[in-house]
Amino acid sequence: MYELFIALRHLTSRRRQTIFSVLAVGLAVMLLVWSQAMMVGFTDEMYSKTVDRMAHVTVEPQEDEDYIHLYHKLTGDIRGIDGVVGVSPVLSGPATFEYKDKNKNVVIQGIQVDAHDSVLHINDDIVEGSFRDLEVSSNSVVVGDALAEKLDVEIGDTIDASFPEANPAALKVVGIYDSGTPLDETMAITSQSTAQGFLDVSNVVNSILVRVDDRERAQAISEEIDAMGYPASGWKETNPEIIQTLKLEGTSNAVILGLIIIIASFGIVSTLFMAVMEKTKEIGMLMAMGVPRRSIMLIFVMESGILGLLGAVLGVALGAGLAIQMGSYDYGMEVMAGITTIPFVVRLQDAVIIVLFTFLLNLIAGIYPASRASKLNPVEAIGRE
């Protein structure tokens, strides 16, 4: 492998050019790694702040029906699907809440506490009181912190609930939750039986919420439920803007940073061109000594590849180090969906892909100057003094 021997010696002899080329690629890769860590962190945060807090699959009544009547059987069937970890039948409807001189239009949701917690982890959001009390006493309600503030109610206060065609009820506040979403101002949660009484319906629900173990499988599972005769939709259908946001951010990020690396690689190409010019006589002499054109090409492609690889490894080390050192990026304000801080997440697979991408890019970038070197005419290259 004399080609590698010669390539390495060229690089160590042109020390300054080598260092600057590696640094240029390294800095570009560092930016890419750092920003990728932020992107992954943002995606994770976005999912945990949104998708992980919503029903992965929502089942609705059959066409032309207002309610799901035989929801017990359907709930059991859905629970039997592989990958389903939580199923919650929900009866919801509109209501007007009044407390003293304040009033607010809300959506009232009738739930079974355990079932609902298995889908939405509502118990994690409780800040005062308890969801459990909904089942202990009827005509009780849990409200969001923003709603409680609007109505100026506290635990123990009784709210008057009414609505046209509904049975007016007095609901005692037994808990306050904070989910960090706009729902905190518009949704009140009560027991299924209380909701049935208020909305004046029999034992029916108007939606079934489902949680799955892998959010990426939500679509497949919703199709299985569809096949049972009930329209179901996965979170990607019900919240297309989440995917849209992530895709947009991800793509523009990758394009810009990919361009930076390509620019850094152009630096290597121009360094190599200079090296080829400088070494014209040497290349001619190597040919005279019996180095075939392919090997001349290989020598210079190797040089480019080695520079790229060194730069990539340096950049990954710097970028990952910087990301880990910083830990997270604090915006100091809410950017979206309750996200104020983005953790940096460095994934091994990203590091490997970036190193490979940069290495390959530099191998390819090296081909042009290398082929120029290999096409030299040995007689002209050696020349005469």
Partner 1 sequence: MSDIPIIQIKNLTKIFGDGVEIKALDGVDLYIKRGEFMSIIGPSGSGKSTLLNQIGILDTPTSGTILLNGVDVTKMSDKERSRTRNKELGFIFQYHHLLPDFDALENVMIPLLISGVKSSQARKVARKVLDEVGLGDRMKHRPNQLSGGQNQRVAIARALVNKPSIVIGDEPTGNLDSKSSDSIYELLRKLNREHEQTFILVTHDEQMAAKTDRVIRLVDGKVVEDLRDGASVREI
| C-beta of 64 vs 385, nearer to partner 1 | 385
Tell me the closest approach of the beta carbon of residue 287 to partner 1, in angstroms.
7
Applying CB under 8 A, among 91, 210, 287, 354 the residue interacting with partner 1 is 287
Q: Is 282 a residue that touches partner 1 (CB under 8 A)? A: yes
Question: What is the pairing mode between strands 140-144 and 169-177?
Answer: parallel
| C-beta of 204 vs 299, nearer to partner 1 | 299
- Which of 104, 180, 192 shows the shortest CA–CA distance to 145? 180
- What are residue 17's phi and psi, to 5 degrees? -60, -40
Q: Which stretch binds partner 1 (CB under 8 A): 17-25, 43-51, 234-242, 282-290?
A: 282-290
Find all residues with CB under 8 Å of 331, minimum gap 6, and list them: 339, 340, 341, 342
Applying CB under 8 A, among 281, 330, 347, 353 the residue interacting with partner 1 is 281
Applying CB under 8 A, among 2, 85, 137, 324 the residue interacting with partner 1 is 2
CA distance 153 to 135: 21
Applying CB under 8 A, among 289, 325, 333, 349 the residue interacting with partner 1 is 289
Q: Is 116 a residue that touches partner 1 (CB under 8 A)? A: no
CA distance 279 to 290: 17
Alpha helical stretches, state H, 88-239: 113-120, 133-136, 145-151, 192-199, 218-226, 235-238
| C-beta of 15 vs 164, nearer to partner 1 | 15
Tell me the closest approach of the beta carbon of residue 284 to partner 1, in angstroms.
8
Residues 197-236 that bind partner 1 (CB under 8 A): none
Find all residues with CB under 8 Å of 343, minimum gap 6, and list them: 41, 44, 45, 327, 328
Find all residues with CB under 8 Å of 107, minimum gap 6, and list them: 92, 93, 94, 95, 186, 187, 188
Q: Give the contact letters, 294-333, x = binds to partner 1 (CB under 8 A), - = no.
A: xx--------------------------------------
Q: Which amino acid is at 222?
A: S
CA distance 328 to 48: 16
| C-beta of 239 vs 295, nearer to partner 1 | 295
Tell me the closest approach of the beta carbon of residue 379 to partner 1, in angstroms.
5
Residues 6-35 that bind partner 1 (CB under 8 A): 6, 9-10, 12-13
Tell me the closest approach of the beta carbon of residue 275 to partner 1, in angstroms.
11
Coil, strand or helix at 60: coil
The pair of three-digit structure tokens given for residue 152, joined into one six-digit string: 């100026």
Find all residues with CB under 8 Å of 132, minimum gap 6, and list them: 113
Tell me the closest approach of the beta carbon of residue 281 to partner 1, in angstroms.
6
CA distance between the termini of the chain: 31
Tell me the closest approach of the beta carbon of residue 370 to partner 1, in angstroms.
15
Q: Is 375 a residue that touches partner 1 (CB under 8 A)? A: no
Q: Which stretch binds partner 1 (CB under 8 A): 4-12, 124-132, 266-274, 310-318?
A: 4-12
Coil, strand or helix at 208: strand
What are the Cα distances from residue 146, in Å, to 39, 53, 189, 190, 197?
A: 31, 18, 14, 17, 26
Q: Which stretch binds partner 1 (CB under 8 A): 50-58, 93-101, 319-327, 373-381?
A: 373-381
Tell me the closest approach of the beta carbon of residue 371 to partner 1, in angstroms.
14
Applying CB under 8 A, among 291, 312, 316, 320 the residue interacting with partner 1 is 291
Q: Which stretch binds partner 1 (CB under 8 A): 43-51, 225-233, 276-284, 311-319?
A: 276-284
For partner 1, the binding residues (CB under 8 A) are 2, 5-6, 9-10, 12-13, 281-282, 284-295, 377-379, 382, 384-385
